[in-house]
Homo-oligomer: A and B are copies of this chain.
Amino acid sequence: MSHNSFGQLFKFTTWGESHGPAIGCVVDGTPPGIELSEKDIQPFMDARRPGTSRFVTQRNEPDKVQILSGVFEGKTTGTPISLLIENKDQRSKDYSEIKDRYRPGHADFTYDAKYGHRDYRGGGRSSARETANRVAAGAIARKVLGNDVSIRGCVIQIGTSMIDGDNWDWDEVPKNPFWCPDAKAAKDWETYLDETRKSGNSVGAIIEVQAKGVPAGWGAPVYGKLDSDIANGLMSINAAKGVEIGTGFASAVLTGVENADEMRLENGSPKFLSNNSGGILGGISNGDVIIARMAIKPTSSILTPVKSINSKGEELEVRTKGRHDPCVGIRAVPVAEAMIACVLADHKLRHRGQTGR
């Protein structure tokens, strides 16, 4: 069962609520002998952590990771790696007034329906704060994958504003607070998001992640498919509402002739002339760049009042104060990268287990 675990051979289990003393995860199955320290993980945490620009929540969390086990004298031992991240800036009082209220778009109502009892402070277990663990696990997954595989993500659309593919420049991504590969779009988004935020509203986003250097052969037929595991991983991210691989939904409008990724040889090696497949055929990597996209819905915590009910069966209006992201999609980029890294690390080990390669 994996209610709170992800992966098979490279597997992590997360725990913790937004306003408890700490959150953390246990990463199991890491190969031994890999150099690892907090320094390998922290940069990814910093990329995700809140409070870094006015376009993300102002909650102030250092998100400092501690490794509590599984690493000895600077190298992994092959035993479980326990990671702990303390919660520093909880301000539980912010949430007291919505204790009984069901915020539309949030899991308040469904957690109550399922469990009959929940930690309502800051969304408790359903808070996006949980994703800090994924980023930490993803940093370890990258070490498992090694330098041959590189994974990077970006935001390609915010609300109604899409990037121009012709302007795509990966080097732009770290230069703006939006993970945007299009310098011009990034400019537009600044105004767009400022307006959104000021109007007490929020917007959705589309994220793309690419993984380069994955050899042909990872994945599995039928139910452990690389793409179904990616879909599972990305859809498990808070606010995700859609996932696609390669040309994705747009492939529905293509003909078979248009969609065929033709093959030729280049220096004796197979080469695809296009990549509609997103690097995956029959659930198995084909050696081309793996491309996945996900849709993130607009932040549900908005200042604008919306109709709702409470746990006592009363109708009311909910207006979510507190410190929220006008577009949660932005901070989802390192999380999406991390999930792809974890899926790939898992499949590297699974492939090696079965085939010895």
CA distance A268 to B1 in the complex (A): 35
Which of A15, A257, A286 counts the most chain B CB atoms within 10 A?
Answer: A15
A302 within 8 Å of B (CB atoms)? yes
**Range, interface on chain A:** 35 or more
Q: Is the CB of A17 within 8 A of B354?
A: no
* A322: B residues at CB distance < 8 A: none
Q: Is the CB of A15 within 8 A of B4?
A: no
* A23: B residues at CB distance < 8 A: 69
- Nearest CB of chain B from residue A303's CB, rounded to whole Å: 9
* A280: B residues at CB distance < 8 A: 110
Q: Is the CB of A69 within 8 A of B298?
A: no
Which of A23, A113, A126, A307 counts the most chain B CB atoms within 10 A?
Answer: A113
A135 within 8 Å of B (CB atoms)? no
The one of B70, B117, B235, B262 in contact with A243, judged by C-beta atoms closer than 8 angstroms, is B235
Q: Is the CB of A107 within 8 A of B282?
A: yes
CA distance A241 to B249 in the complex (A): 7
Contact with B along A205-223 (1 / 0, CB 8 A): 1100000000111111111
* A117: B residues at CB distance < 8 A: 32-33, 72-73, 75-78
Those 5 A-B pairs whose CB atoms lie nearest each other, nearest first:
A107-B282, A353-B353, A242-B244, A202-B256, A110-B284
23 examples of A-B residue contacts, CB within 8 angstroms: A1-B29, A1-B224, A3-B80, A13-B13, A14-B223, A15-B68, A16-B68, A23-B69, A24-B68, A33-B117, A77-B118, A78-B114, A104-B261, A104-B262, A110-B282, A114-B355, A204-B259, A241-B252, A243-B243, A252-B297, A260-B302, A350-B353, A352-B352
